[in-house]
Structure 1
Amino acid sequence: MRVHVVSDVHGNTEGLARAGEGADALICLGDLVLFLDYADHSRGIFPELFGVENADRIVELRTARRFDEARELGRSLWAGVDRDSAIEAAVRKQYAEMFAALPTPTYATYGNVDIPSLWPQYAGPGTTVLDGERVEIGGRVFGFVGGGLRTPMRTPFEISDEEYAAKIEAIGEVDVLCSHIPPEIPELVYDTVARRFERGSRALLDAIRRTKPRYALFGHVHQPLAQRVRVGRTECVNVGHFASSGRPWALEW
């Protein structure tokens, strides 16, 4: 059995269309939407609406952790614009392209920049969406936890620590624990390019220590200090920033 795993697709539809080649199934750990490409500020919803110069400025402010100034810039740009309608129209366009590119079967969960309410309109019969749920793939049990925890960035699908922990609890013991964000381990949550700690989940780490899955798979941190960390018998793996690499991570058994 061979399963390919991707995360942080961020608009890489061309790569996504090839991600399942040679695999029995594809797992997608979220962040399909590209709001703003921090490597190429001309790509994404934000520069399409407000131009590259404003994208440059907001990246500069966010990277410097000047979040209040970034929010103020955002408020000034959005003034007079129907924000919800503009974002939804752009996200719908991206979702239509990316869900059409997914192979059969695909098992997917949400990232923190995704909009879960729209997924049922685009996920075809070959795509199973899971969040706080389990599924058997090739005789192994996979559990899925979608979304992220609350941050100053205020991305679309951030929830409370309590809500997140409840989804982990609902999954129980699994062979492979799949999430968008990593467990709260310093080497896994520190982004070496952004030079900051992203939010990881203490509840995920506690579940790994308690239930001892064979693997814990995740993404979210684009340039982690460490891609893999072992916790007891569990191999914790950041499956990679698919938007830039275009390469899935492979799990075989």
Structure 2
Amino acid sequence: MKIIAITDVHGRVNQALRITEIIKREGVKAILLAGDISRYKSIEEAHEIIKTLTSAGIKVFYVPGNMDDPKICEEVNIENAVCIHEKVVEFNGYIITGIGGALKGPFNTPFELSEENILEMLEKLMGRIKCGRRVILVTHNPPYNTKVDELGFGEHVGSKSLRMIIEKYKPVLNVCGHIHEARGLDKAHETI
């Protein structure tokens, strides 16, 4: 099964259209969208991006990012689009779950969380999943001390709570975004 992971679209419809072309060409079955769907709190932009992505005829599982209004989960009602913020869903033999938002930072963005919030939400979610299930965890914030949470000058700014949850529950995959300059793939113990 092919799944594509994207993040930080920031309202760019042209980027979403290019992604739909890839989806059709490659036979992708689902999209994992790890937040920052809009530029700044625009539910209309988030709706347009998600609608564009679902136009390819596949499921889109998404969480809001720190730049998104968390109300998109309630207000964006599009067939084949599933907001998985604080939810657990099953898809093709996998459990897909996640949380949106990001750690509080210097920019006062619309959806910020503390480490305590992140830990509490993730413990609650993971506690609902039976042991031994193949779990895909979608978060906007990256886990701490990985290639994907490192700023350009070397400082790690990911979530220590998320890292702790990954080490404890060992999901097969954590899809995240947020740190634009830290693209890549990394492993936290057994989790990609």
Contact 2:146 2:156 in 1 (8 A): no
CA contact (8 A) 1:4 1:23 kept: yes
Pair 1:189-2:149 in alignment: yes
Residue 61 of structure 2 corresponds to 107
C-alpha RMSD of the superposition: 2.1
Distance 1:233 1:119, change over 3 A: closer
1:123-144 CA-partner distances (Å, limit 9, x unpaired): 3122111112221111011221
Give the secondary-structure state (helix, strand or coil) at the position aligned to 1:231.
coil
Q: What is the CA-CA distance between 1:180 and the residue it aligns to? A: 0.6
* Structure 2 equivalent of residue 7 of structure 1: 7
* CA distance 1:25–1:187, change in 2 (3 Å): closer
Distance 2:145 2:91 in 1: 28
CA distance, structure 2, for counterparts of residue 196 and residue 232 of structure 1: 21
In the comparison of the two structures, how many residue pairs are matched?
Answer: 178
TM-score where L is the length of structure 2: 0.82
SS at structure 2 position matched to 1:230: coil
Q: Is there any run of 5+ residues in structure 1 with no aligned partner, and where?
A: 36-87, 236-253
Distance change >3 Å, CA 95–CA 214, structure 1 → 2: closer
Larger of the two Rg values belongs to structure: 1
How high is the sequence identity, in percent, across the aligned residues?
25
Cα distance in 1 for partners of 2:123, 2:78 equals: 28
Aligned to 1:62: none
Give, in angstroms, the shift of residue 92 of structure 1.
4.2
Deviation at 1:93, TM superposition (A): 4.2
Look up the match of 1:215. Answer: 173
1:171 is aligned to 2:176: no
Runs of 4+, deviation exceeding 4 Å: none
Is 2:11 the partner of 1:34? Answer: no
Cα distance in 2 for partners of 1:229, 1:97 equals 31
Greater RCO, 1 or 2 (C-alpha within 8 Å, sep 6+)? 1
d(CA) in 2 for partners of 1:132, 1:186: 24
**Is the 8 Å Cα contact of residues 198 and 221 (structure 1) preserved in structure 2?**
no
